[in-house]
């Protein structure tokens, strides 16, 4: 797994500044006031920092902007990064500042002088999150960037505050690595092995193979993978950090490691991007890793359905009728609407076995959600206003875009089948909504539930504030916060 940048917190030692040979970061507020570290840098640079701050260019800066002073006179450093940041910066402003530093530092060690900074831990989190690159498949991969030392007035407090945030970053890195990995590397079996390895963190991990899934009646899940040589699996991860006997929160993820569309074959152009169709399972895996690393005081079970959707002589066909674990029958109209067939069985299994206090599923489920919301927001569908509002609040606090979408009987009626209990698609109109309606048919009446369609946010073609191009890790931070606020607050 891609490792996080080593970040340590120390008391400000002015004598280290002149000899530091990497990059030095100083933080300046809108009024241009310099703290002790910045004043020392300014003196060593013979007033150059003050001249920059007083110039017109700096006056137009926004929170998190960085001005680079290369090869500064009087210092051994290769550059001084001057970060514009209010003393009472918001969480997102501090994270953006850290991310801006990460983008500019290259391979250099960084000495960040944050003596009087209010949100030191958040700045470090932003730096860690943005300091990511997926190069596992490159033969000439270079070592990751050097360590970061943050000098501040209360290093012990900053380190304690940063620890759970860096656990979130490590979970997001796992999600990104899984989502970025090519399908010949991340098979259903290697994915399951990655999750089994998290037993070292205190998670209890079970792997259900095809024989066990068949005995359970998970025929809709199995039909998706029957055209592939890769065996279908369900992996169950338990984190029992809450009160013994308390019902867990269930997180369910779609893990289609590659999606050709099956017999309803996708167009060739862009099919290579379907390595990310396991993004929902990737988020569930990353959340479970973060919970274990920070020792969350909550009971959470993560379940992922791992399959590969391939065309072959044994593949499921349009027109086939499949019986789900619940007992309902599904007429398969389009084999490219396979994610819901995977999720419905795993969701029903989660409810039957664990009787969860609530259930949240995640999936790169529909292209329709991208048409509706672009790459800025995930689609949020829910049968419970309180749970949904808590999630939306958590997502907003973490800067992860999410937008609630409707559910209703008229959409559900679009799934009626002439020969089975339901069809697996409802046609082109409202495609993301009818997909959610399909899943809701497998949610018990007394179970609060959220469906997150993350097709537009799991992997993107342009960089975001906290991630480069590619997999974003969207959802790890928001779900972690939801768990902390809703299930650990008591």
Catalytic residues: 266, 340
User: Nearest to residue 276, comparing CAs of 175, 368, 346, 198?
Assistant: 175
Which residues does 467 contact at the CB level (< 8 Å), separation at least 6?
129, 130, 132, 176, 460, 473
Per-residue tokens: 25: 């970061």
Return the number of other C-beta atoms located less than 10 Å from residue 135's C-beta. Answer: 12
Question: Which of 326, 369, 331, 367 shows the shortest CA–CA distance to 349?
Answer: 326
The CB density around residue 199, as the number of other CB atoms within 10 Å, is 12
Residue 449 near residue 384, CB atoms below 8 Å = yes
Which residues 6+ apart lie within 8 Å of 140 measured at CB?
none
Whether the Cβ atoms of residue 317 and residue 224 lie closer than 8 Å to each other: no
Please report how many Cα atoms fall inside a 13 Å half-sphere around the Cα of residue 360, on the Cβ side: 29
Dihedral sign for Cα atoms in the order 99, 105, 106, 107:
negative
Taking a C-beta distance cutoff of 8 angstroms, is the pair 444, 354 a contact?
no
Closest by CA position to 308, among listed 209, 361, 233? 233
Cβ partners under 8 Å of residue 396, min gap 6: 402
Measure Cα distances from 33 to 41, 120, 461 in Å: 13, 18, 38
């Amino acid at each position: 797994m891609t490792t996080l940048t080593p970040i340590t917190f120390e008391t400000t030692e002015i004598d280290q500044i002149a000899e530091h040979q990497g990059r030095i970061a100083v933080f300046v507020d809108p009024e241009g006031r310099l703290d002790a570290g910045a004043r020392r840098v300014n003196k060593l640079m013979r007033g150059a920092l003050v001249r920059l701050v007083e110039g017109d260019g700096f006056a137009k800066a926004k929170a998190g902007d960085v001005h680079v002073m290369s090869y500064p006179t009087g210092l051994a450093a290769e550059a001084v990064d001057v970060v514009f940041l209010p003393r009472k910066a918001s969480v997102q402003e501090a994270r953006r500042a850290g991310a801006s530093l990460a983008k500019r530092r290259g391979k250099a060690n960084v000495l960040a002088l944050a003596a009087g900074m209010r949100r030191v831990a958040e700045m470090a989190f932003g730096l860690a999150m943005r300091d990511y690159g997926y190069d596992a498949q490159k033969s000439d991969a270079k070592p990751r960037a050097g360590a970061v030392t943050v000098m501040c007035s209360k290093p012990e407090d900053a380190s304690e505050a940063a620890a759970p945030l860096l656990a979130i970053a490590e979970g997001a890195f796992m999600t990104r690595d899984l989502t970025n990995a090519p399908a010949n590397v991340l098979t259903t079996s290697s994915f399951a092995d990655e999750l089994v390895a998290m037993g070292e963190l205190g998670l209890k991990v079970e792997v259900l193979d095809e024989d066990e899934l068949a005995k359970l009646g998970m025929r809709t899940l199995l039909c998706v993978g029957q055209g592939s040589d890769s065996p279908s699996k369900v992996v169950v991860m338990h984190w029992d950090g809450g009160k013994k006997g308390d019902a867990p929160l269930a997180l369910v993820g779609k893990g289609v490691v590659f999606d050709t569309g099956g017999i309803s074959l996708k167009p060739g152009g862009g099919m290579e991007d379907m390595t990310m169709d396991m993004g929902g399972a990737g988020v569930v895996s990353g959340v479970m890793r973060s919970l274990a690393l920070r020792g969350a005081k909550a009971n959470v079970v993560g379940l992922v359905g791992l399959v590969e959707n391939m065309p072959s002589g044994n593949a499921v066909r349009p027109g086939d009728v499949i019986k789900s674990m619940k007992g309902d029958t599904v007429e398969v109209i389009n084999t490219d609407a396979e994610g819901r067939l995977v999720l419905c069985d795993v969701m029903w299994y989660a409810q039957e076995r664990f009787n969860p206090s609530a259930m949240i599923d995640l999936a790169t489920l529909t292209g329709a959600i991208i048409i509706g919301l672009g790459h800025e927001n995930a689609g949020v569908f829910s049968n419970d206003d309180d749970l949904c509002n808590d999630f939306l609040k958590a997502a907003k606090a973490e800067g992860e875009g999410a937008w609630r979408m409707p559910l209703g009987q008229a959409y559900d009626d679009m799934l009626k089948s002439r020969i089975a209990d339901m069809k697996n698609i409802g046609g082109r109109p409202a495609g993301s909504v009818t997909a959610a309606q399909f899943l809701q048919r497998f949610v018990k009446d007394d179970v609060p539930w959220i469906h997150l369609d993350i097709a537009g946010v799991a992997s993107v073609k342009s960089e975001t504030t906290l991630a480069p191009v590619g997999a974003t890790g969207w959802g790890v931070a928001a779900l972690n916060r939801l768990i902390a606020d809703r299930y650990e607050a008591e």
